[in-house]
Structures are given as C-alpha cells and as structure tokens.
C-alpha cells in the first residue's frame, strides 16, 4: 500500500494537491488499524519525498498525516462510519482540510505571527479545497465496484 501511495503521489503531481494518498491512509486505518495507517503514512511521505524533494514541509506533512490517522482511527470505531461509505467519503473530505491546516500550522514558526499565519492559511485554502474534493471523489471511485 505504501508503494501505491508513492506511485499515486508521483503520478498525480501535476494536479495541485490531488492524490490518492489520504484516501489510502484512511482506508487502511479503518481496515487494519492505527499502526498500519501510521506506518503507511510515514513511509509514503518519506519515500515519495525522496522523489519529489525534502524540505521544511516534510515534518509538518508527517505530523499532518498522523493527525489524519488518529482521526480516522478514533472515528472508525463508530459502527455508523463502518457501515456507510458516504460517511467515510465525508471523512476523507474533512481530512483534506485537516491535513492542509496542520501543514500550514507547521509553517507558523517561519511566518512571524498569527496575522501572517492566518493570511498564509487563507491563501492556501484553495489548494486545501482541491485536496478535500479530490479525496471525496477518489474515495467513492476507489471503493465502489
């Protein structure tokens, strides 16, 4: 699954923030649990960043995906989530925004204050929305049929 995440991230790099990684991590966390989701998340970012480039964003990316894993793991215990695909797809939609917020928050020390952070975060909401909607669409397409 890690290889699929890396290849998916690499193949979708021409589309801003649209990639199957978040959906795969959520699906694996719901199916196999916290440890599997965490391992896939960490390895996917580290290996794909070998191809796409490491930088100050790598640590916030790792932490953001771990937040997504924790959220999926906690919410995934609810029977309602397990039984309804549309709820899981909504989870993937919100995960796009959570991931974007966490990555942006990781840049806070470099920005110089809360006002700059808010401006930075608002400027990135377009890309977070692409990530979120991409997650939602990909989640349905990857799990139906």
Show pLDDT as tens, one digit a residue, over the chain (145 residues).
999 999 988 888 888 888 899 999 999 999 999 999 999 999 999 999 999 889 888 999 999 999 999 999 999 888 888 888 899 999 999 999 999 999 999 999 889 899 999 999 999 999 999 999 999 999 877 665 4
Whole-angstrom distance, CA of residue 97 vs CA of residue 50: 25
Contact predicate 40/70, CB 8 Å: no
pLDDT score for 92: 94
pLDDT score for 17: 86
Question: From residue 119, how far is each of 24, 55, 59 by CA, in Å?
Answer: 31, 21, 21
pLDDT score for 84: 86
Contact predicate 104/61, CB 8 Å: no
pLDDT score for 2: 93
Question: From residue 51, how far is each of 10, 26, 84, 91, 107 by CA, in Å?
Answer: 8, 23, 36, 28, 22
Total domain count for the chain?
1
User: What domain range is 11 assigned to?
Assistant: 2-143
| pTM of the predicted structure, to 2 decimals | 0.90
Question: From residue 92, how far is each of 13, 38, 52, 103 by CA, in Å?
Answer: 19, 16, 23, 16
- Residue 25 three-state SS: helix
The pair of structure tokens assigned to 111 is 């920005």
């Amino acid at each position: 699954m890690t290889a699929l995440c890396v290849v998916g991230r690499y193949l979708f790099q021409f589309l801003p923030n649209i990639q199957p990684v978040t959906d795969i991590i959520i699906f694996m966390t719901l199916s196999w649990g916290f440890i599997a989701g965490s391992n896939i998340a960490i390895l996917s970012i580290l290996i794909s960043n070998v191809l796409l480039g490491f930088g100050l964003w790598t640590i916030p990316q790792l932490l953001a995906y771990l937040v997504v894993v924790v959220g999926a793991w906690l919410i995934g215990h609810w029977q309602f989530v397990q039984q309804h695909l549309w709820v899981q797809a909504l989870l993937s939609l919100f995960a796009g925004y959570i991931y974007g917020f966490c990555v942006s928050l990781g840049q806070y020390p470099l920005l110089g204050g809360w006002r700059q952070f808010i401006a930075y975060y608002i400027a990135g909401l377009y890309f977070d929305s692409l990530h979120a909607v991409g997650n939602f669409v990909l989640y349905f397409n990857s799990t139906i049929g």
